[in-house]
Chains A and B, each alone.
Chain A
Amino acid sequence: MGLSIVFEERRTDLTHILLLPLLSVGAAFLVGSLLMIWSNVDPITGYFSFIRGSLGGYIQITDTLLRTTPFLLMGVGIAFSNRSGVLNVGAEGQYLFGAIATTATALYLQGIGMDAGITLIASMFAGALAGAFWAFIAGFMRAYFEINEIVVTVIMNWLAFKIMQWLLRGPLKNPLSEMWPMSPPISAKLPLMLPESRLHVGFLVAIFIAFMTYYLLFRTKLGFMIRVLGNNPHAAKYAGFPVKNLIVFSMMYSGALAGLAGGIEVLGVFHFLYEGIAVGLGYTSIITALIGRNHPIGVIGSSLIFGMIYNGSVYLQSATGLTYTYSKAVEGLIYLFFMLFTILVLYRVKLVVR
């Protein structure tokens, strides 16, 4: 005898799916305003500057899209590997490794006087390849040695960061910059999309890849096998699917997108490599994939939310002095509320006396 909680799955439609992220972002901002009051910031002024900073005009909106790009690429990649039942916590490291490879390739090609277009394509390709390689290690250890991929990817993130720190002081060092370790500047830049804005074609690439991933997941045999594997590993095994290789492939695909994101950030935004490119975007992208419900099209929406939060928090900082860590705290809250509302919206929760 005792009380127990019973869950009945509700029939869900599009309203439920759209309601969920909106509710959780709203609730997180509500709690976030308590954090603002507590740190002596008027929440109305705070959120006003936040909205103005992320959506207030042409420059602000294009900047939001610019910041959306890495979340979109990495979120889609993480969603893809989530579908096969492995969690890629290593997007951060794959992003860094991709950025490193892109920088190294671009600097080498510009050193031998290669054409800018070829440099861009080759170095982006190198970034994706490097990301895939970094993820391959974790995928291989998971598939063939049954070592938890979360632990391995977190270690790989740390290793990638340290390798980058070493390279910036060794082989990739800019001799002109003694104080701040950075690489020499890259002359090849991603073409801009719109006049008088920083938005580059990387955003279009990311959108294209999101749709391509959707096609791959839901319209091909490979995608079908990956989804079966994630939903029911036993079924995938008995159906004779190459389970191990599917795990390795989905990790590598995820890593390739993260590496590409790193390359695009270097070629489109920074034009050189420095330690500041590692600000935890890869970790945030895990939340992006969750809010997008592991659906590539859903991730387009959720990465827009995070692009807004990141761009808005820059303006929040200049208007109120709240640092970017405010956006980190809000991120954690969005995640928790999303879990809570998933249960409340998608299930009917009943207390039953047995």
Chain B
Amino acid sequence: MSLELIQSIVGLGLTMSAPVAISSLGEVFGERSGVINLGIDGIMLMSAFVSFHVVFLSGNLLLGYAAGILTGVVLGLLLGLFEIILRFNQVVAGMGLYFLGFGLSDFLYRALYAGKIIFIPKTPTLRIPILSEIPVIGRALFNQYPGVYLMFLLTGVFWLIIYNTRIGLWIRALGENPKACDVAGINVTLYRLASLVVSSAMAGLAGTILCLEITGLFYENLTYGMGFIAIGLAYFGKWDPLRSLSGSLIFGISWSLGISLQDVFIKMGRPEMTYFMVMLPYLAVLLSLLVISRGARPPASLGKPYYRG
């Protein structure tokens, strides 16, 4: 394998990791407070569409990012209404949001664009001056899309918040024993709502990154179930931001590995084998789940609505 090939595998792998890693971080944060967000994939689809539409209309990429995150916040509040305020079954409510995001994003796209394939200007990569000149890793690591830098930055930020701040302590305590928190004077509803909204906003950012940095266009179900992979990686990471990041990197790298192997098979004259290569990242996640998250213990109150008294 040539050096250049390794560079491109790692580079594309990091790019592909970003949406999964960021939505997985959100899921970790939400589940730490005891709330399951199963709507991530729907939120990603919806904010991918909204950011696509905003960029198409305004031509302003920053506006697209803002709109994508805002979509996540709004859908997070809607989910919070069902999961936390009305205390509906969290699994059922999350699946509902998934169906809504899945159906509505596709419906709106077809209604507004008549199903045509339209490319929008993609976010350019950000080259970091001196670091990108480092041989081998420089180009893969420091000439990347903003989402990749955000992935590393946000992982650090979430790790700090969860383990080193008072808010993080409360969030962790809420996941284990909401009653004790209530007695200690912490507003359970408010904190859980806030952490669910943060988790949805992350999913919104992830969907935006997928659309504006990776595909540059919108089509039906463009997440390919990445939101559900992100939920799986929260389990894989045992609800720790650093470990869930490592899971996302496995997913992203095996994705780009599969793509490079596709070329090998096409050159061999066996194009139908490419369908196996696309399965690689999903198989990798499945196997990692099997090997690592055996007996992972979720936060004690995960998925249980809190009733006072």
Contacts and interface: CB of A to CB of B under 8 A. Distances in A.
Interface stretch (B13-21, B106-114, B131-139, B171-179): B106-114
Interface string A52-96: 000000000000000000000000000000000001010000000
Contacts of A256: none
Contacts of B294: 145-147
B104 A332 contact: yes
B36 to A, nearest CB: 9
Interface in B243-297: 271-273, 275-276, 278-279, 282-283, 285-286, 289-290, 293-296
Contacts of B283: 159
A323 B115 contact: yes
Interface string A324-344: 011011111101100110110
B191 interface: no
B228 A151 contact: yes
A332 B93 CA distance: 11
A106 interface: no
Given A155-B286, A158-B225, A39 B235 contact: no
Contacts of A322: 111
Given A145-B290, A339-B88, A157 B100 contact: no
A293 to B, nearest CB: 12
A162 interface: yes
B106 A328 contact: yes
A156 B25 CA distance: 23
Given A151-B228, A155-B282, A165-B275, A339 B92 contact: yes
A180 to B, nearest CB: 15
Contacts of A163: 275, 279
Interface residues of A, number: 47
B302 to A, nearest CB: 10
B108 to A, nearest CB: 8
Interface of chain B: mostly helix, strand, loop or mixed:
helix
A35 interface: yes
Interface stretch (A112-120, A183-191, A283-291): A283-291
Contact of A35 (B92, B107, B279, B296): B107
B220 to A, nearest CB: 8
Interface stretch (B79-87, B154-162, B196-204, B209-217): B79-87
B231 interface: yes
B102 interface: yes
B102 A151 contact: no
B68 interface: no
Identify the interface centre among A148, A165, A333: most chain B CB within 10 Å of its CB: A148
A179 interface: no
A331 B275 contact: no
Contacts of B82: 339-340
A146 B275 contact: no
Nearest to A334: B99
Contact of B289 (A152, A328, A333, A339): A152
Contacts of A170: 272
Contacts of A157: 225
B103 interface: yes
- Greatest chain A CB density within 10 A among B93, B235, B275 is at B275
Given A157-B225, A158-B279, A339-B93, A148 B107 contact: no
B96 interface: yes
Contact of B85 (A5, A35, A39, A158): A5
B242 interface: no
A39 B275 contact: no
A166 interface: yes
Contact of B232 (A4, A146, A151, A329): A151
B229 A155 contact: yes
B35 interface: no
A333 B99 CA distance: 8
B111 A151 contact: no
18 contacts: A87-B95, A145-B294, A146-B296, A150-B91, A150-B228, A151-B235, A152-B232, A152-B286, A157-B225, A159-B279, A162-B275, A166-B273, A169-B272, A286-B95, A328-B99, A329-B103, A332-B99, A336-B96
Which A-B residue pairs are the 9 nearest by beta carbons?
A328-B103, A151-B232, A332-B100, A169-B272, A329-B107, A166-B275, A154-B228, A332-B103, A332-B99
Interface of A: 4-5, 7, 35, 38-39, 87, 89, 141, 145-148, 150-152, 154-155, 157-159, 162-163, 165-166, 169-170, 283, 286-287, 290, 322-323, 325-326, 328-333, 335-336, 339-340, 342-343
Given A150-B231, A169-B275, A325-B110, 17 more contacts: A4-B308, A39-B111, A87-B91, A147-B290, A150-B91, A151-B228, A155-B228, A158-B279, A165-B275, A166-B273, A323-B110, A328-B107, A329-B106, A335-B95, A335-B100, A339-B96, A343-B88
